Structure 1
Amino acid sequence: MCICFILGIIIQEYLALRNWTSYLALLIVAITMFSYLSRSLFWVAQRKYLLVLVFGVLGIWLHKLHSEIPPLPELPPKEEMLFKLNKKLNSNEKNRRYEITVNPGEAEVSSILSVPRGLPELDYKHLYRAEIYISRVQPPKNDYQFDYSKYLRRNRIYYQSYVPGKLESAEVTNLTVADRIHQKRLEILQRIDSVSISPKSREFMKGIILADRTEMDRETVADFTKTGLVHILAISGSHIIVIYGLFFWLLIRIFPLRHRRTAIICSLILIWVFAVFIGYGNSVVRSCIMITVYFIYIILQRKPDLLHAMAFAALIILISDSNQLFDVGFQLSFMAVFGIYWLNQPILKHLPPANSFVKKVLFNTFSISMAAQISTLPAVIYYFHQFSLISIAANLVIIPLSQIIIIFSLMMTLTIGSSWYPQALLLFYDHFIRIVLYTIHWFSGFDRFMYSNIPMTLAETAILCTVIYYLRFLILRFNIRNLLPLLALITLYFGLYHGLNIYHEQKNEVLIHHHFREKYFSVKKGNKVEFWLNADADQANVKKYIIDPYLTSRRASAYQIKTLPHKATSVQYNGITYPLKD
């Protein structure tokens, strides 16, 4: 049912079927209901086929509903407007960024707002009025660039805005329950900012427990990215499992043994309270749903089935918002869980017997880490076009410590939130986290193990995912029968890989690249590209947002940067003039 529902979403996404799908859905549902009411052997035999067809058409219809763009008001490009805070977003060196609601209570719309760092931080207990520059988010003009407008549209955000000057604020007396919770979380974040530990330790604590990475410095984020440890910063399944385990461990010592179910139910309630408090982000909600579904099996005294739990959790999430299917976090989290289910036990069987607790922890950490990394590798390369071999070693060192790190950080967050914390314990936490961050930074320094700008198409990704599926059988039993499908798939992959390389190498291209208000010129000949930039261009940003994505999409291996004449407004190439200014 889940697979058919997902196929329905994909069909609607890429084929954009019209209104007749609603009538088709009603017709199939009616036929299915008739089959369950009928005693005819023919209709009894068709029930399972009709049921999965219902979910397929339901996926088409719901995704059409979730993808509809509502009527948007015509907003002037610059006007004094009223707005309120919805969510803090990642900041940059110049601006803090927020998700806001403009004109709350009226013709309200959501927008991404940038506020200069010199202005006060926004909170949830005030309404704000300011002169705002606001505009619709535009799609990229080059096919290789990330479509930020589509990403925002999936989150029902259609505008971006900027406050150039001062803000006026008025305190709200009738805050909603959600705003009160958000404000309390914001106050705890501010308390953490006031404690006397290193800034990196503060930002780490806020990120790993309260899901706030808005002020984390770029170097730390880059270290976690290079070492494949970003999943530690993002509140996900591993965090929720550890926190659930801590709650259950405490409650099982309070309740008598015969009330084990009560301890499970209370632990599940507590992790949902935690999820609501930290902002019920997508990854947190996904993890809570999966854990809740899994333990419902235990409460009902049924054998836990991870695949059914995953499918049921995916259905709940996608029925509420089908756009989640295209969220990278959604895909990676389910691929990781499936990878652990599919490869963990086969890998463990090839490791020596765990005759001690330490060996058991180390071997399980290794097998789980390897299973998760192998299963998510195709998607990681497809979306981020990079991979580091050092991530395997980094995960083996840091993952065994992750439970201690999460529990210690949770305890310190609770004590700081209650305004009671021993200074000695705070200093010990600071030193401990600094050692962890230094270790991660040390691992990130092995640049020779980092592979960047790896080209990957959807077809190549599908082949690699199929390779991982057949890999289980080869690990369980190494023989020619299990080896042949893998060899065939690997041959197909490299054939497609080299075929695409040859295709792109034969294509020459002259292109104007758009990045915000700037334009850049490039000439591609074979697998080499020349980029023409102004002398004052920020080459680091151009390389990150223009050069690297373009080289990856065109599977080019070399490039050269050339400087345009001072204040050049156009470029002539082969007798054609290419404008660089609007």
Structure 2
Amino acid sequence: MRRLHFTALLGLTICLMVGLILYNGLKPENERARRYSQNRHTSRAMDGYRHMMAERYAMLTTDEADRSVLAAMTLGEKKAVGKDVRRIYSVTGAAHVLALSGLHLSIIYMLLMRLSLNRQRSVLVQTIILSMVWGYTLLTGMATSTVRSAIMLTVYSLLALGGRRGYPLNVLALTALILMISDRTVVYDIGFQLSFAAVLSIVLITPVVDELVDKNRFLKYPVVKWLWDLMVVSVAAQIGVAPLLAYHFGTFSPYFLLTNFIAIPSVTIILYLALLFWVTPFDVVGQLLVGVVHILNKVLALLAQIPYSVIDHLHPTVVQTILIYVGFGCWYAAILKLLQKPQNVV
């Protein structure tokens, strides 16, 4: 197993814990308002195009829920999303697909890489792809999670051009450093905490799971492998963000895995259709787009009605939240110890 870079891990963990403590103790409302104002100013140049696309969405359907969810998922416009829709997505554990995040940007990046036939060493290809990635980040308002993903994708692209392979933990730590240098108050941001906790958990847990499972034997079918990878990533991300969700929002969604099996493929289709809809005049694409969003909303509404679909009123203290992460860390260290192969002594 690849040797973990514990210095980067320690730095990231300290950033998350400090952010959690500062958020609990200080909560600098003026600083967060200032940062939000700066981000809105940065994306003001994109407001015209975003407004034009929102108007095209309005012409596709009269259903307010479908239209608002579509605008939120593809344009980052969450203001029109009603309380009932927000509750459904929150209860089912699908709030991360309603708000733009690294997931959305990664889906777009993978699509662009496939269209370029995975020519990672081409300077022209990487330049075009990164321009589109950062253009979409600007278009959607530069949320912390999307900026984090854009920076990581940029670092990976630069390493690919140089024929180097980046270690995810080091790239994540570098991204956190860049964000904190650019804005000293970013550690207060809930999106920053959730985004880095999820990615950190995925980076740490997935290699361990890969060692425990013989993929060549059990996952030789592409569909089975895709479902397995989706399950592993979903569980790993949930482990990372569950304590923070309980602390900030007081909720936990037991059916998050079932939700992700439905929501993530749907979001992938929605983003692909949205990109096609933006560059083509064909209304049939728009109708398909609205249809997928409508089906997703209905399915999640049904899931929200299942008994015990949400556990609420948790609200652990900041000390309890940190101790939960310490417990996770102890379990993780114990598993790594068990996986170490004993060396033969001659």
Q: 1:421 corresponds to which residue?
A: 282
Q: 1:242 corresponds to which residue?
A: 107
Partner residue of 1:151 out of 3, 9, 29: 29
User: Judging changes above 3 Å, is the alpha-carbon distance between structure 1 residues 10 and 377 closer, same or farther for their aligned structure 2 residues?
Assistant: closer
> TM-score of the superposition, structure 1-length normalised?
0.51
User: Judging changes above 3 Å, is the alpha-carbon distance between structure 1 residues 302 and 458 closer, same or farther for their aligned structure 2 residues?
Assistant: same
Deviation at 1:477, TM superposition (A): 7.0
Structure 2 residue 86 is the aligned partner of structure 1 residue 208: no
Kindly provide the amino acid, as one letter, of the partner of residue 469 in structure 1: G
Q: What RMSD over aligned residues (CA atoms) do the two structures have, in Å?
A: 3.3
SS in structure 1 at match of 2:311:
strand
Deviation at 1:13, TM superposition (A): 11
Structure 2 residue 201 is the aligned partner of structure 1 residue 339: yes
Distance 2:78 2:16 in 1: 31
Deviation at 1:340, TM superposition (A): 0.5
Q: 1:464 corresponds to which residue?
A: 324
List aligned pairs for 1:464-483, cutoff 5 A: 464-475=324-335
SS in structure 1 at match of 2:109:
helix
Partner residue of 2:87 out of 211, 215, 222: 222
Kindly provide the amino acid, as one letter, of the partner of residue 274 in structure 1: Y
Partner residue of 1:275 out of 137, 154, 173: 137
Alpha-carbon displacement from aligned partner over 1:470-524 (angstroms, at most 9, x marks no partner): 3334556769xxxxxxxxxxxxxxxxxxxxxxxxxxxxxxxxxxxxxxxxxxxxx
C-alpha contact 1:205 1:413 (8 A) present in aligned 2: no
Percent identity between matched residues is 23
- Runs of 5+ consecutive residues of structure 1 not aligned to the other structure: 16-143, 160-175, 480-582
Partner residue of 2:150 out of 259, 264, 288: 288
Distance 2:82 2:245 in 1: 23
> TM-score of the superposition, structure 2-length normalised?
0.82
C-alpha contact 1:182 1:279 (8 A) present in aligned 2: no
Kindly provide the amino acid, as one letter, of the partner of residue 431 in structure 1: G
Q: 1:493 corresponds to which residue?
A: none
C-alpha contact 1:227 1:444 (8 A) present in aligned 2: yes
Deviation at 1:214, TM superposition (A): 0.9
User: Judging changes above 3 Å, is the alpha-carbon distance between structure 1 residues 223 and 275 closer, same or farther for their aligned structure 2 residues?
Assistant: same
List aligned pairs for 1:385-400, cutoff 5 A: 385-400=250-265
Kindly provide the amino acid, as one letter, of the partner of residue 466 in structure 1: V
User: Judging changes above 3 Å, is the alpha-carbon distance between structure 1 residues 298 and 194 closer, same or farther for their aligned structure 2 residues?
Assistant: same
Kindly provide the amino acid, as one letter, of the partner of residue 223 in structure 2: V
Q: 1:412 corresponds to which residue?
A: 277
User: Judging changes above 3 Å, is the alpha-carbon distance between structure 1 residues 12 and 478 closer, same or farther for their aligned structure 2 residues?
Assistant: closer
Deviation at 1:458, TM superposition (A): 1.3
| Bigger strand fraction | 1
Deviation at 1:6, TM superposition (A): 9.1
SS in structure 1 at match of 2:163:
coil
**More relative contact order, 1 or 2 (CA 8 Å, 6+ apart):** 2
List aligned pairs for 1:56-455, cutoff 5 A: 150-156=28-34, 179-196=44-61, 198-252=63-117, 260-350=122-212, 353-415=218-280, 420-422=281-283, 424-455=284-315
Distance 2:18 2:287 in 1: 55
User: Judging changes above 3 Å, is the alpha-carbon distance between structure 1 residues 200 and 312 closer, same or farther for their aligned structure 2 residues?
Assistant: same
User: Judging changes above 3 Å, is the alpha-carbon distance between structure 1 residues 179 and 425 closer, same or farther for their aligned structure 2 residues?
Assistant: closer
SS in structure 2 at match of 1:322:
coil
C-alpha contact 2:121 2:160 (8 A) present in aligned 1: no
| Bigger helix fraction | 2
C-alpha contact 2:202 2:233 (8 A) present in aligned 1: yes
Residues paired across the two proteins, number: 325
Bigger-Rg structure (1/2): 1
C-alpha contact 2:73 2:99 (8 A) present in aligned 1: yes
Distance 1:182 1:428 in 2: 25
- Runs of 5+ consecutive residues of structure 2 not aligned to the other structure: 1-6, 340-346
User: Judging changes above 3 Å, is the alpha-carbon distance between structure 1 residues 192 and 259 closer, same or farther for their aligned structure 2 residues?
Assistant: same
User: Judging changes above 3 Å, is the alpha-carbon distance between structure 1 residues 8 and 314 closer, same or farther for their aligned structure 2 residues?
Assistant: closer
Deviation at 1:292, TM superposition (A): 1.1
Kindly provide the amino acid, as one letter, of the partner of residue 152 in structure 2: M
C-alpha contact 2:60 2:290 (8 A) present in aligned 1: no
Distance 1:285 1:323 in 2: 15
Distance 1:157 1:277 in 2: 17
